[in-house]
Structure formats: C-alpha cells, structure tokens
Amino acid sequence: MSAVPIEYYVLLSMALFCVGLFGILTRRNALLFLMSVEIMLNAANVNLIAFAFYHGNLTGQVFALFTMALAAAEVAVGLGIIMVLYRNFRDVDVTVPSAMRW
C-alpha cells in the first residue's frame, strides 16, 4: 500500500521511545522530564497512526487524538508542579526533594 513498510515505523517509534526513556532515567532537571514524556507519547502516536493506516480504519487516529489531549493536560499539570517545586526549593532538580511533607 505504501512505499515505507510498517516495520520502519515501528523501529522509528521504538528508537524514539528509547530516547525518551533514556532522558527520564538520566536527567535530573524536572523540565526535561516533561519533554521526555512528550517524546515517549509521540512515539506511541507514531505507532498508532501507522497501524491505523495499514489496517485501513480510523481507530488508531482517534486514539492518537485522545493521547494528544492527554499530553496537553499533563503538561499543564506538570507546569504547576514544577512551579511549586521551584518556589519551595529554589531549583528544578528532582533529587533535592526527598519527602512529600515539609
């Protein structure tokens, strides 16, 4: 149906997801957590759209739209959490707060 086989899209999605997971596991900046989660959600979206195209229905595209709404809401909530973290600790390093009470 297309010139690009679906395996290439799955491989690209896998590589993109691994990059996002690497960013979450190695960086300590809370802002990089938000960006890495965005990268991982985009990797899942690429998979959903690729399978929707190769199966010939629109279910994957609807799922991808739900994922986008979820990502937008998640960034809005994460922004609030990061602002509170910065206000209380004067930093966005996620290793500085070690307890949920103070």
Partner 1 sequence: MTYELIAFALFAFVTLASAIGVVLVQDPWHSALLLGVTLLSVAVYYVMLAAEFVAVMQVLVYVGGVLVLITFAVMLTRAERDEVVQT
Rounded CA gap, 46 and 55, in Å?
Answer: 14
Rounded CA gap, 72 and 36, in Å?
Answer: 14
DSSP for residue 1: -
DSSP for residue 93: B
Over the window 64 to 93, marking each residue x when it contacts partner 1 by CB under 8 A and - when it does not, the resulting string is: xx--xx-xx--xx--x--xx--x---xxx-
Positions in the binding site for partner 1 (CB under 8 A):
2-4, 8-9, 12, 15-16, 19-20, 22-23, 26-27, 29, 31-32, 34-36, 38-39, 42, 45-46, 49-50, 52-53, 61, 64-65, 68-69, 71-72, 75-76, 79, 82-83, 86, 90-92
